[in-house]
Structures are given as C-alpha cells and as structure tokens.
C-alpha cells in the first residue's frame, strides 16, 4: 500500500479491526467454482496483467472462468502505473455489459485498475472525480482479486492509486466501497514470479508490518498482525531464492502480505514507506526495491536515535546472545540488513535516474518529513533522510 494514506482506523484510545474483503488462502483455490462466482455466473470482466497471461496456471484459470461465465470480457493491462485515462477507457469498453463480477489478476497496478473499474461501473462520471477519500456513493460491481505476487496487499486494501493524466498527480480512490469483495490467494499463481521481484515485494510487506508495529498509535491488534507478518517474513525471505517454486513458502509470503496490510490499514506509515513511495512515484523506482533500500539505511539511523527494536530481535530465527536494548536492536538490524544485501539490492539508484542532485528535493518534498514523523519509532527529519540518501552514493 502506498505510504502517506490514512484510512481513518487509527485512534488514540480505542482499538478497531475492520477488514472489508473476505480472503481465502490455498493452493488451487482459483479452480474452485464456489470461490469465483457470487450469485450468478453470467457476465464477468477480467483485468489481467499482460506479464502473466501466458503462464500455464493462469491460462488454465482463464479457460475455466470462460467455461463458468456465459460471457467473459478480458482486458490485458500493460501499464506499470495505472492511469485515470486508461481506467476511463476500459470502463467505456464494458459499460453496457451488465457485469456480475470484476476480476483482477496481477500485481498491485493491475489490481488497482480492476478496483477502480468496479467502482466506476456503478458510480457516474470519470475516475478523476473519485480520487480522494469516500467519494463513491454506491458499492461497485462485486470483485475478486487474485495477486500474482505477494507484498502490496492491494487485493484487500480500500484504495486504488491512479496517475491523473490530465492534472499530473498520483492519487488514490480511497475509502468507502473501494475494498474488493473477495481476494483469492493462491500460491500456484505466484510460484513463477521472478525471485528479485518476489523479494522486493516481500520487503514492501516487511515495511508495512514494521512501521505499523512501531507507530506510536499502534493498538495491540496492529501489533499482533505486525508481529506475525514479521515472524513469517524473517524466515521466508532468505529461503525463497533457493526454493522459488515451493508452494508452502509462497503461501507464507501471501499470508504475511495480508497480515502486514491489515496492520497498516489500522496504523500509520513511517519514513520508510513514505519515502519509498515518493521514490516510486517521482523516480520510477519499483516500490518494493525503494522500500528495501529505505529499511536498511533508515533502521540504522533510528537505532542511533534510540529506537527500540527488541521485539524484532525476539522474532529472529537465530538470536545472537547479546544483552541490552541497543545491542538487541542492532542484532535485529544486522539480520535484516544481511537478508537485503544477500538479494543484491542495488547500492544506489542512478540507473533509475535518481541522482545526488535530486536528494534535497526529495527530502524537502514530503509533508511528513516536515513534521518529523511524530508517530514513528523515532522522529525522522529532513536531515535524517538526507543521511539515508547520501549513503546511496
Ligand atoms: Fe507499500
């Protein structure tokens, strides 16, 4: 999920747990008719990521869906960053279809496109009208999201982030009615995702869980979901390169991404997610990669500033025997840093055109940075971010 968004589930003195999307996890679940039909199987729309359209597992799914539904319209999504104009065009294409279901099969961008379409098919006007919070007045077409990589949690979040082509900004259609009806988390669908994208996406989930947990407003419910997500990720990420097609590992990553997204929906993002998000939208750095880079450098600075990561130390699969808050926090950091380095995260982002002359601008841009992230594990100011960025050179 994007950093910087607040979904009105963060409170000072009460706890909330609100998950609008029902989700099911299991190998082969997408082939079970019961899970791919709501009331009737007449007309469905499938928005599918063009990268997965020829994968055997997905091909079989699309074929079976075509046999279940009387009429299945298939639109391939080729955009890495979904645009309002594209969503409007796709909506026009199927406006007359009287759809019973909208399917999204793909990564976060494809799922965001499908979520936006589901809303725009029942709410009049164009996508731009709904960018903001709670702007839709009617529920969308029932939707089913099937992620092809585990990390963003887009399959359960009440948010569809789109680039506004006309006005040149990126903004979410957020809140009421945007959460998908159902998510089907099938490790068979994610098994062929490349290792590097898998690891980066897993770090997206890692940031969601870590910053949700360490947010000063985090409720015990957030901590529960965050803890379990982190416990799973600390074990699964280092193993995925050796066993990329292991369905149990893939299932673990899907579960962790969901738990992390639930934690984030009820908490607030910190500097890692917020700056990772800005790197993604302003400089085209893949969101997960931007997060991985931010974790490594940010944690080190936060520990210097007194951050307590003992809870993370307690979750490590192997704990070095050290005592004290700082020592345990550093041991947790070293473990995480080693995982990041083992997957060859680039040392800088020059290949994305993110150069030293952009550092000041990025550090100054983010609103949160001006406030110094008061709810994060430690304050994190402009100069802290500049330190992170300088270490990229
Ligand atoms: Fe994210």
pLDDT per residue as tens digits for the range 40-49: 999 999 999 9
Is the pLDDT score of 4 beyond 80?
A: no
Measured in angstroms, how far is the CA atom of residue 1 from the centroid of ligand 1? Answer: 4
pLDDT interval class at 154 (50, 70, 90): very high
**Residue 303: pLDDT band by 50, 70, 90 thresholds?**
very high
Q: How far is the CA of 70 from the centre of ligand 1 (A)?
A: 37
Residue 390 has a pLDDT of 87
User: Where does the pLDDT of residue 276 fall: very low under 50, low under 70, confident under 90, or very high at 90 and above?
Assistant: confident
**Residues 129, 135: contact at Cβ < 8 Å?**
yes
* Rounded Cα gap, residues 206 and 256, in angstroms: 8
Cα 290 to averaged position of ligand 1 atoms, centre (Å): 10
Spatial separation of the C-alpha atoms in residues 280 and 180, rounded to whole Å: 24
Neighbours of ion ligand 1 (CB under 5 A): 1, 204
Q: For residue 323, is pLDDT > 50?
A: yes
Chain region(s) in the chain for CATH 3.40.50.1970: 22-190
Please name which of 270, 176, 169, 170 lies closest in space to residue 217, comparing C-alpha atoms. Answer: 270
Q: How confident is the model at residue 12 (pLDDT cuts 50, 70, 90)?
A: low
| pLDDT score recorded for residue 214 | 95
Cα–Cα distance between 159 and 49 in angstroms, integer? Answer: 18
- How many angstroms does the Cα of residue 194 sit away from the middle of ligand 1? 19
Delimit the CATH 1.20.1090.10 region(s) of the chain: 195-390
Check pLDDT > 80 for residue 5. no
Residue 366 confidence class, pLDDT cut points 50, 70, 90: low
Kindly state the percentage of the chain with pLDDT values over 70. Answer: 95
Ligand 1 centroid to 257 CA: how many Å?
Answer: 10
Measured at the alpha carbon of residue 216, what is the angle toward residues 212 and 221, in degrees to the nearest 5?
55
CA of 224 to the centre of ligand 1 (A): 19
Does domain 195-390 fall into CATH 3.90.1150.10? no
What's the full length of the chain, in residues? 393
User: What is the pLDDT of the chain when averaged over all its residues?
Assistant: 91
Pairing of strands 132-133, 22-25: unpaired
Indicate the pTM of the whole model: 0.93
b or e along 303-335 (b: 16 or more beta carbons within 10 Å of the residue's beta carbon)?
beeebbbebbbebbeeeeeeeeebebbbbbbeb
User: For residue 155, what pLDDT band results from cuts at 50, 70 and 90?
Assistant: very high
The CATH code of domain 22-190 reads: 3.40.50.1970
Using the mean position of ligand 1's atoms as its centre, give its distance from the Cα of residue 202 in Å: 10
pLDDT at 169 over 80: no
What is the Å distance from ligand 1's center to 280 Cα? Answer: 10
CA of 192 to the centre of ligand 1 (A): 21
**pLDDT score recorded for residue 193:** 96
Cα(198) to ligand 1 centroid in Å equals: 14
Q: Residue 260 Cα, ligand 1 centroid: separation in angstroms? A: 10
93 alpha carbon to ligand 1 midpoint, in Å? 30
Q: What integer pLDDT is reported at residue 278 of this predicted model?
A: 82
**Statement: residue 386 has pLDDT above 90:** no
Helix (H) or strand (E) run with residue 76 in it:
strand 71-77
For 211-261, write each residue's pLDDT tens digit.
999 998 899 999 999 999 999 999 999 999 999 999 999 999 999 999 999
Per-residue pLDDT, 365:
65
**Does 296 or 320 have the greater pLDDT score?**
320
| pLDDT at position 72 | 97
Distance CA 171, CA 133 (A): 10
SS (H, E, C) 170-238: EEEEECCCCCCCEEEECHHHHCCCCHHHHHHHHHHHHHHHHHHHHCCCCCHHHHHHHHHHHHHHHHHHH
**32's tokens:** 């079970």
The structure tokens listed for 308 are: 């307590």
Distance, CA 209 to ligand 1 centroid (Å)?
10
CA of 363 to the centre of ligand 1 (A): 19
Cα 273 to middle of ligand 1, angstroms? 6
């Amino acid at each position: 999920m994007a950093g910087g968004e607040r979904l009105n589930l963060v409170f000072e003195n009460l706890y909330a747990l609100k998950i609008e999307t029902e989700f099911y996890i299991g190998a082969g679940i997408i082939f079970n008719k019961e899970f791919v039909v709501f009331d009737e199987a007449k007309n469905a729309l499938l928005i599918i990521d063009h990268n997965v359209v020829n994968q055997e597992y997905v091909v079989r799914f699309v074929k079976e869906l075509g046999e279940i539904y009387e009429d299945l319209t298939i639109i391939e999504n080729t955009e890495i960053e979904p645009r309002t104009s594209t969503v409007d065009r796709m909506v026009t294409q199927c406006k007359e279809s009287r759809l019973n279901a909208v399917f999204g099969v793909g990564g976060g961008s494809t799922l965001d496109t499908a979520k936006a379409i589901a809303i725009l098919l029942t709410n009049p006007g164009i996508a731009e009208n709904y960018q903001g919070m709670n702007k839709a007045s009617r529920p969308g077409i029932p939707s089913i999201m099937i992620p092809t990589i585990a990390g963003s949690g887009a399959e359960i979040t009440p948010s569809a982030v789109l680039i506004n082509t006309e006005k040149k900004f990126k903004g979410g259609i957020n809140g009421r009615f945007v959460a998908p009806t159902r998510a089907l988390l099938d490790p068979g669908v994610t098994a062929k995702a490349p290792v590097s994208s898998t690891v980066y996406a897993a770090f997206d989930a890692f940031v969601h869980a870590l910053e949700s947990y360490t947010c000063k407003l985090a409720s015990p419910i957030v901590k529960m979901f965050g803890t379990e997500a982190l416990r799973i990720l600390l074990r699964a990420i280092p193993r995925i390169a050796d066993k990329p097609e292991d369905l149990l590992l893939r299932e673990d990553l899907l579960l962790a991404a969901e738990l992390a997204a639930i934690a984030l929906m009820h908490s607030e993002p910190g500097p890692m997610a917020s700056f990772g998000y800005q790197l993604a939208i302003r400089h085209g750095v893949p969101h997960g990669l931007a997060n991985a880079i931010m974790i490594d450098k940010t944690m080190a600075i936060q520990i210097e500033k007194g951050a307590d990561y003992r809870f993370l130390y307690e979750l490590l699969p192997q704990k070095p025997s050290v005592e004290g808050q700082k020592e345990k926090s550093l041991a947790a950091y070293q473990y995480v840093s080693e995982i990041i380095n083992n997957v060859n995260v680039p040392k800088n982002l020059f290949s994305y055109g993110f150069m030293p002359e952009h550092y000041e601008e990025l550090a100054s841009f983010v609103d949160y940075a001006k406030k110094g992230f008061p709810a994060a594990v430690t304050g994190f100011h402009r100069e802290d971010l500049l330190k992170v960025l300088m270490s990229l050179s």
